[in-house]
Structures are given as structure tokens and as C-alpha cells.
Structure 1
């Protein structure tokens, strides 16, 4: 057997190692796989439903802002509670509540009872639950992704997540086009129950905690400040969190609001096209994830991470100039690849640098920095898009009216 074939077999084996070495990894992987499958369907259906109910990108901005609001209010405390409580129990409780929320939403949709007020309430409650789930999930992932499988585990997890961006949006687009949004919401509810059964096998995991006598004397504020101390000790961490918090003002609104508006309203494509465009982003991320996972070590990771963010920004800048579906898909493919590169390097860095007993707090600070300004971005993007949309339709109407008169059609 040649050395090239041997290296190829070693690379393929690297991606199997996490499943063979850790049953906890397998349970966590498949639990989140099904949960994210349902979420990826809803992520496509929700913007279309909002636009159908309100015909307003500003309302879509409000929906996303209400989802992010609990993150801003609760993340300073949820990370502390995650470090104090059983992380697996938190994840199980949240999955059960999210199942109930999605089931209620599906029932309302089946009986044509959905309105914007229900969606506002639903998204706020979903954000409330996710503000506890995400720090807990990050902490469990840091525990399960041990050093011997860490690089492969991160790559496989991210590749699967992005793979769902291909299948999930297509399925969501097909569901809302051929059946109804209610079916998509119902499938999302079912996936939370499937996820819950996988997570039950993680209850045997034990986590490191700080000395109990020391913890008793600390307030929630002091616990929170301990997370800040960890970040201050690593300049790479706090500088990146600060930078991404400003970048997210613009990119979050573009992905969640402007892209759906560009496809569904401006170009008036079928909803399935939105699914295809999001799937292209997932395809780009998968390609990048596979390449990243084939190497155990990468040098100059900071430059690579920031380079990925820059490439993603350029692709979004070019998106408004794309006038057909293939070019839109290419732009989103590049965007997905760039963000995947940053995400993998960032996740690995956190797992290497942050102590286990403080990971929940640091993860919550990371999310707070990344999400804090997202509601502002969603609102601004929605209002700007609505104003631009009114101007666009106004110019189109004036042109059409002038053309009709000059042609003798009016």
C-alpha cells in the first residue's frame, strides 16, 4: 500500500474516531442532529409566514429582535446558573418546553389561528429557553470533546450542522410550497422529542466544579465577573468577541431579513429558492469543514479565522448584485465557507483555553458579545429594507405608469 493511500485511510479514520471512542459523543451528536433538523426547517418557513401575515420586513425584524432579547437579558445569569446546575437536566428541560411551544404553533397553523402577536410571544419564549440551552450545550460539548478527538469532533459536528442547512431548507421550502407551514412546525416539534431521548443517555456525565466552600461565598455578580477574568487573560478571546459583536449588527440582519426579502419580494422567486440559497451556504461550510478536519493542527489560526470573516463579508457585499439563482448560490457558498472556518477555529480555541468549571460563564459571555447588538441590527435592517422596498415599488409604478401612457394602454 502506498504512503498516499495510507494517509488517505488515516484521514478517513480520523472522522470515525469520535464515534468509536465516545458513546457520549454519539448521543450528543444524534440528539442535536435531529433537533437542528427541525430548526433548519422552521428557519425557512418562519420568514415566509411572517411576510405572508404582515407583508413587512420591519415585522420580521421585530420577530428576530424579540427572539434575541432574552439572550441579552439572561445570558449574564444563565451562564452562572449553568455552571452551578446539572447541564444535562437543563438541556432535557429546555427540549421538552421547546417541543410544547412548537406543537402549539403547529396546531395554531393547522387551524389558521396564527397572527403576528402569537409569533411575537412564541419567539420571545423560544429565545428565553435557548438562552439557557446554548451555554449548557457548549459546556457539555467542551466536556465530551476530549483532546484526543477534539479536532475531528468539532469538524464532524459543524459539518453535520451545515449539512442540515442543505437538506433542512430544501425540505422546509418544499413543505410550505406543496403542503403548509403547519407541517413544518409539527416536524420541528417531533425532532425535539427525538433529541430528548438521545440526551437521556448523557445523564451519567459528571462535571468539575469549583470548591464548594469557596462557591458558597460568591454572589451571582462575582461568579459572572470570574468569567470576565478568564476572557481578560486571553486577549484573542475578548478582542474577537468585541469585533464579532459589531460585525453581527450587519450580517445577522442581512441573512435573516434582507436575503428572504431579496428572494421572495424583490425577485419574487418561489419559496423553494430561498431554501436552495441557504443550502448553498451549508454546502460551502461542509467543504470547508472537511478540509479543516483532515489536519490535526493548523498554524496561524488567528489570521485564518479573521480571513474567513472577511471573505464572508465580501460575499454578502456582492449578493445584491446577483440577479439570478446560480450567482446567489455562489455568493452564499462562499459566505458559508468563510464563517465555517472562523467557527471551527473559535470553538477549538474556547475548548483549549477555558477551564471546564467556568465554561458556562465564558460561553454565555461569548454569546452575549455576539448577540447583544443583533436586535438592533434586525430592527435597523428591517426598517431600511422596508424603506428601500417602498422606494423600489414606487419607482417601478412610476415607470410602468409612464410606459403605459406612452404606449396608449391607459
Structure 2
């Protein structure tokens, strides 16, 4: 009886927090995500408020997103060939250097929109190397049975930064200055880089690949693509990431301000309520997934959550009262986390350690690569006179249909634990 009680106690105790390596990784993620959130908010608000170049803000976003997509596969291959700690350290310390350079530029030079484009370009390239290494490092320091919980904690931290980071940045700018805001970013990234250096990895024997024998980087990338193609499960996940981002991201991100203005007859404050509630729903979903720490039928959970996600999106488009919209957008955010976290944990638990960086980079590229296409298609339909609510309904319905097809036609995903 005592053994059973002790086992239950261990299962529900915060054992993962006694893992020093995970604690350092979490601290690095906390500082890094808040630092980047402060940087992005300050950068955007400076362009809008100080420069008065609202129309040029898109150049900054493009400068960071395009290189992130283009270099992501290369970043995955590099992560599988070299020490992931070193890659993450260099990425954070270089981003801290960029923030410091911007501080000096603000103090002693003339900052233009092209200055921010340059900084965004560097940040995007460094992100492409940081995230595959980050995704590949976690399964090396956490037991497989704790991967779902570990990923949920990481997601909670990231999503909290999306909610609190802009608020903190706004307060720093209001009470201090933009120089102080970018200095805070540099300090947080410096702390993150130090925390990464404190992670101590044990050497593991892994099967040698052609990249370890001196083959070219392109061969390494092709190995990663071939590895994914040979797994019906991984191919299914990547295809789902492609379609969800194609059908959901554009209509949601572009459609929300249009929905607020045209349907809810709201203002910027109303828009902020919806954005905050969506992030709050994602945070709630991350907490639920972390508490449950499901180890069985995760594939079925993802399929069901994807279908419910599409249904909530459809229902959201029919709302015409703010409280209804807030309720549905909260549910929508919750299902996002229920989909994402088990998928990441599943990949980390089944993929070979020497391939994890490339697989994670391919998944990230599939997710982000179609976002500009989704924006373009949404813009095209809007220019042709389509109503945003109809675009949302179609996007949500297509996701529901995709989940039904996955349930009946993709047993490798449905039956995955």
C-alpha cells in the first residue's frame, strides 16, 4: 500500500523541477521568450509611434519571417551535426549583441526603417538555428514519460511571454525609454545564454551518419527528408501542419481585426481582448496537458482536438456579441495547445536523437512556410469581395474535414500512443 502511495506521489510531484538541466533550459527559455517579446513590441511600436511608418512595418515582419523559413532546414541539419548547447548559446549571445548594437545606434546614430529591417533579418536567421537545436535538446535531458509535461511547461512559458511581454515592454517604454527596453532585451538574452552554458550533457553513443563522416550539409538535409518520407506518421504530422496553417492562420490573424470592426463594431481595445483571450486559452490548454501528462492515445487526442478546433473556428465566425466571441476564442486557443504539445512530445519520443534537429526543422518549416500563402489567399478572397466570416467558416470546415479523413485514413496517427 505504501509503495502505491509513494508511486502516486512521485507521479504527481514536480519531479521534473528536480532535473537541473531542465531547470536551466526552462530559465533560458523564460528569459529568451520575454526578451524577444519585449524586443518585438518595442521595435514595432517605435516604427509606428516615433517614425510614423505604419505601412512599412510589414517590411520588418517579412525581414524576420522569410530568412527564418529559408534557413530552418539548414538549422536542423546543423543542430544534428554539432553541439546543440553551443548553437543555442551562440544564437542567444548574438541576439543580445544585436540588441546592444541597436541601443548604441539609438544613442549615437540615426535609426531608420532599414536599420530595423537589418536587425530583424539577423534575428530571423538566428531563430532558424536556435529553435531546431532547442527542440532537439529537450529529449536529451528529460525522460520520455516526462516529455509531454516538459513541453507543456515550455509552452506555458512561451505563451505567458506573449501575454505579459508586451505589457512589460509598454510599461518600460512609458516609464523609461526605448533605450531601456532594448537594454532589458539584451540583459535577458545574456542571462539565457549563461543558463544554456550551465546545461551539462552526458555523451551518448549514436549511430554514425554520413554527415559525421564528413559529407556535405546538403546530404545531411536530404537524409532528414528521406527519414521523414519513410515514416507515415511523420509525413501525416507535417501535412497536417501545412493544412492547418494554410486554412487557419491567414483567416484568423487577418480576419480578427476585420471581424472586430465589421461584426462586433469594436475598437482597438476590443481587439486586444480577443488577442489576450486567445493567448490565455492557449495557456490554459498547456496547463491542462501538463497536468494530465497523457501517455496513451495521443494520436487520437490530436485528431479529435483538430476537429474540435475547426468546429470552434466555424462557431466563432457566427458570433455577434463580444462575450460569445471571447468564449469561442478561448476554446480555440485551448485546442491549439492540445494539438501542438502532444505532437511535439511524440516526435521527440520516437525520432532518433541524431535526426531530431532535422525533423523538428522540417515540421517548423512546414508550419511557417505556408503562413505567407495563407495570408495571400485570404487577401485574394477579400479583394474579390468575399466576407471574412465566410472565409472563416470555410477554413474551419476544411479543418474538420481533414480531421475526419485523418481518423479513417491515417491509422498510424490514430493509433499512436
TM over 0.5: yes
Moved more, 324-333 or 278-287: 324-333
1:214-239 deviation per Cα after TM superposition (whole angstroms, max 9, x unaligned): 73263333322221232223212212
Count of residues in Structure 1 that have an aligned counterpart in Structure 2: 382
From 302, 305, 309, give the equivalent of 2:302. 305
Unaligned 5+ runs, structure 2: 386-417
Query: Is this contact kept in 2: 1:38–1:189, CA < 8 A?
Result: yes
CA distance in 1, matches of 2:32, 2:277: 21
User: Structure 2 vs 1, CA of residues 151 and 119 (structure 1 numbering), >3 Å: closer, same or farther?
Assistant: same
SS at match of 1:292: helix
- Pair 1:95-2:115 in alignment: no
CA distance in 1, matches of 2:20, 2:60: 38
The TM-score normalised by the length of structure 2 is 0.77
State the superposition RMSD in angstroms. Answer: 3.9
Unaligned 5+ runs, structure 1: 389-410
CA distance in 2, matches of 1:137, 1:299: 25
Structure-2 residue corresponding to 1:397: none
CA distance in 2, matches of 1:307, 1:139: 27
Query: Is this contact kept in 2: 1:91–1:133, CA < 8 A?
Result: yes
Structure-1 residue corresponding to 2:81: 84
1:373-398 deviation per Cα after TM superposition (whole angstroms, max 9, x unaligned): 2233455667888999xxxxxxxxxx
| Superposed displacement of residue 81, structure 1 | 1.6
From 235, 238, 242, give the equivalent of 2:239. 242
* Correspondences of 1:201-350 after superposition (within 5 Å): 201-206=198-203, 208-211=205-208, 215-216=212-213, 218-249=215-246, 251-253=248-250, 259=256, 267-269=266-268, 277-316=274-313, 329-350=326-347
CA distance in 2, matches of 1:311, 1:178: 43
1:31-65 deviation per Cα after TM superposition (whole angstroms, max 9, x unaligned): 11111112233444455445543333xx4444333
* Correspondences of 1:373-388 after superposition (within 5 Å): 373-378=370-375
Query: Is this contact kept in 1: 2:147–2:349, CA < 8 A?
Result: no
The TM-score normalised by the length of structure 1 is 0.78
CA distance in 1, matches of 2:271, 2:342: 28
Q: Choose between structure 1 and 2 for higher RCO, CA contacts under 8 A separated by at least 6 residues.
A: 1
Moved more, 306-315 or 339-348: 306-315
User: Structure 2 vs 1, CA of residues 364 and 214 (structure 1 numbering), >3 Å: closer, same or farther?
Assistant: closer
From 14, 17, 26, give the equivalent of 2:15. 17
CA distance in 2, matches of 1:120, 1:386: 28
CA distance in 2, matches of 1:299, 1:367: 25
Query: Is this contact kept in 2: 1:176–1:184, CA < 8 A?
Result: yes
Query: Is this contact kept in 2: 1:68–1:375, CA < 8 A?
Result: no
CA distance in 1, matches of 2:47, 2:383: 14
1:355-385 deviation per Cα after TM superposition (whole angstroms, max 9, x unaligned): 0011111111111211222233455667888
User: Structure 2 vs 1, CA of residues 107 and 313 (structure 1 numbering), >3 Å: closer, same or farther?
Assistant: farther
